[in-house]
Amino acid sequence: MDKIILSLLLIKSMTIYEMRGFISQYLSSACSDSLGSLQAAIKKLVAANQITYHEYVDKGLNKKEYRITDRGLEAFKKWIETPMDFQKAKNMEESKFFFMGVTQKKTRKKLIRSYIDSLKQEQEKLLHIQSIVEATKENVIERNVERILKDEELQKHILQVSMDDKLEDTVLNIYRYQIFCLEYGLEKIQFDIDFFEKILIKEEDN
């Protein structure tokens, strides 16, 4: 969770509720959006001087807006420049599938149908995100460049990581890889749905 927070704050200063909203809308399949998890991670990051905040009042409510520090930037760079670890992406639920043959046929079919249903629900979430992206893609690069240019420290941090000469290039690459991630999620879920539907057919034929 702490690395997700650093990633978000590299792109935009946020309150805890803005972070939660972003995670809930775009990253719910990757991490929890519980307020407790966010609060614990934020407390850890503040203590490590990797993020800081300023307090302000909005419509009578006290709020804290968080931003990444130079130390947080170093931690983010160390994390993002480390190759992705397939071992960490493993799903313990796969071991349940490995041993599912010990259960009754009707139980196996019920479990597989339930899993397919959950996959389709997640697919619907991703398709909804895709529709939002499509609806807001016009001038998205220009809008984000304009927003970042208003915050000199934010601009400096982003370019320190990307090492690009132009902010526009970095913003474009951020957007491209967010789209790649969405495409990967959709293709992976469709593959899983197709695979488990084939298993159901084999159970019927067996």
* Token pair 């990757």: residue: 30
pTM beyond 0.75, yes or no: yes
pLDDT at 89: 62
- Does the pLDDT at position 90 exceed 70? no
Which residue(s) pair with 66 in the sheet?
Answer: 14, 53
Question: DSSP labels for 117-145?
Answer: HHHHHHHHHHHHHHHHHHHH-TTHHHHHH
The model's pLDDT over 145-176, given as tens digits with 9 standing for 90+, comes to 999 999 999 999 999 999 999 999 999 999 99
pLDDT at 206: 74
Q: What contacts 54, CB < 8 A, 6 or more positions away?
A: 64, 65
% the chain with pLDDT above 70: 97
